[in-house]
């Protein structure tokens, strides 16, 4: 838990572009803050002009309207700059969000009074290597996932921890997750739940075939290397984004980033466990696509 030592003066209010109510709500929040003497600007999360202004350091708070996916994208944008994020839930699950859509008018005065704390979430830096060439690098809030593609055949993956051989997996996928991501795909794959203040990497295999079938919690500061061995399609996905093709012999690395995502919290530190039990067996997305 980190107590705030400042007041916010310049705020960016971003809305998920595919949530119909998000943009009008963002405009209302921006107007409300401006009335209180805080400089606020609103726009869509993927608006490039607004993103450039955020990267330029014009804002000291990012308010994100949407669901958990919105918080992931906001984390990628704000964490390198140390900008705190306040999540307002307009999605379906909202496990990472702090307040609900109809509660922001009562919550924002607490923000202006400094009645909040900042929760620090570990992030990863992940890289894809092909021989000695780095193909890409990504900031990660939830998980790095190396998996099979559309062909329904497992892939073989060799895992090393701190350059020491760990094991070889034959599985549909191998997930390297943060504590934040332990409640996402890793949880659905049978992994343990880690509280967000930890700084460990969680390794979870998806549908392992005659391989290690238990999740492994790595020590703080550990690094992971996953080498792909396959003669068919394999892909890399970071925080659920568009998959990237992997070739036989490609190496995917994951280690703690120097950046952390800062989430604004009004609730006490026990909120995590209360939310956890209330969300279990009550997934609001069930039945949505019938």
Look at residue 287 in the predicted model and tell me its pLDDT: 56
Both 200 and 83 in one domain: the answer is no
Domain residues for the domain of 244 are 123-258
The Cα–Cα gap between 161 and 254 comes to 10
The alpha carbon of residue 113 and the mean position of all alpha carbons in its chain are separated, in whole angstroms, by 28
Instruction: Look at residue 213 and tell me if it is in a domain.
Output: yes
68 is annotated as an active-site residue: yes
Both 138 and 87 in one domain: the answer is no
Both 142 and 49 in one domain: the answer is no
Instruction: Look at residue 284 and tell me if it is in a domain.
Output: no
Q: What's the CATH code of the domain at 154? A: 2.60.200.30
Instruction: Look at residue 70 and tell me if it is in a domain.
Output: yes
C-alpha distances in Å from residue 209, one per residue of 154, 155, 252, 260: 8, 10, 21, 35
The count of domains in the chain is 2
Both 253 and 142 in one domain: the answer is yes
Look at residue 290 in the predicted model and tell me its pLDDT: 37
Both 143 and 85 in one domain: the answer is no
Both 215 and 233 in one domain: the answer is yes
Both 133 and 224 in one domain: the answer is yes
Instruction: Look at residue 287 and tell me if it is in a domain.
Output: no
User: b vs e for 68-81, b when ≥16 Cβ sit within 10 Å of the residue's Cβ?
Assistant: bbbbbbbbbbbbee
Instruction: Look at residue 141 and tell me if it is in a domain.
Output: yes
Q: Which residue positions in the chain have pLDDT lower than 50?
A: 289-290
Among candidate residues 60, 68, 213, 268, the one labeled active-site is 68
Both 79 and 135 in one domain: the answer is no
Instruction: Look at residue 97 and tell me if it is in a domain.
Output: yes
Both 15 and 110 in one domain: the answer is yes
Both 159 and 141 in one domain: the answer is yes
Instruction: Look at residue 187 and tell me if it is in a domain.
Output: yes
Q: What's the CATH code of the domain at 61? A: 3.40.50.10330
Interval 263-282: pLDDT, tens: 999 988 888 888 777 766 66
Nearest to 183 by CA among 76, 57, 278, 286: 278
Classify the phi-psi angles of 114: left when phi > 0, otherwise alpha if psi is within -120 to 50, otherwise beta: left
Instruction: Look at residue 289 and tell me if it is in a domain.
Output: no
Both 128 and 236 in one domain: the answer is yes
CA angle centred on 216, ends 215 and 220, rounded to 5°: 145
Both 103 and 184 in one domain: the answer is no
Interval 141-187: pLDDT, tens: 999 999 999 999 999 999 999 999 999 999 999 999 999 999 999 99
Look at residue 7 in the predicted model and tell me its pLDDT: 76
Three-state SS at 213 = coil
């Amino acid at each position: 838990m980190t107590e705030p030592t400042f007041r916010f003066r310049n705020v960016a209010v971003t809305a998920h572009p595919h949530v119909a109510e998000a943009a009008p709500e963002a405009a209302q929040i921006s107007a409300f803050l401006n009335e209180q003497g805080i400089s606020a600007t609103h726009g869509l999360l993927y608006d490039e002009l607004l993103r450039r202004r955020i990267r330029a350091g014009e804002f000291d708070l990012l308010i994100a309207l949407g669901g958990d996916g919105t918080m992931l994208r906001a984390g990628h944008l704000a964490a390198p700059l140390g900008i705190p994020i306040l999540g307002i839930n307009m999605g379906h699950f909202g496990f990472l969000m702090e307040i609900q859509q109809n509660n922001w008018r009562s919550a924002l005065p607490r923000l202006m009074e400094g009645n909040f704390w900042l929760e620090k979430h570990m992030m990863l830096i992940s890289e894809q290597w092909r021989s000695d060439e780095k193909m890409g690098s990504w900031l990660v809030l939830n998980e790095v996932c190396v998996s099979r593609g559309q062909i329904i055949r497992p892939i073989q993956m060799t895992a090393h921890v701190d350059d020491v051989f760990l094991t070889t997996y034959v599985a549909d996928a191998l997930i390297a997750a943060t504590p934040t991501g332990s409640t996402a795909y890793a949880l659905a794959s049978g992994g343990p739940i880690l509280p967000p203040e930890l700084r460990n990497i969680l390794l979870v295999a998806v549908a392992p075939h005659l391989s290690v079938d238990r999740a492994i919690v790595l020590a703080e500061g550990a690094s992971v290397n996953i080498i792909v061995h396959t003669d068919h399609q394999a892909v890399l996905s970071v925080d659920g984004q568009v998959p990237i093709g992997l070739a036989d012999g490609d190496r995917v690395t994951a280690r703690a980033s120097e950046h952390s995502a800062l989430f604004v919290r009004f609730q006490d530190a026990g909120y995590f466990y209360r939310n956890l039990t209330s969300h279990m067996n009550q997934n609001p997305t069930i039945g949505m696509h019938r």
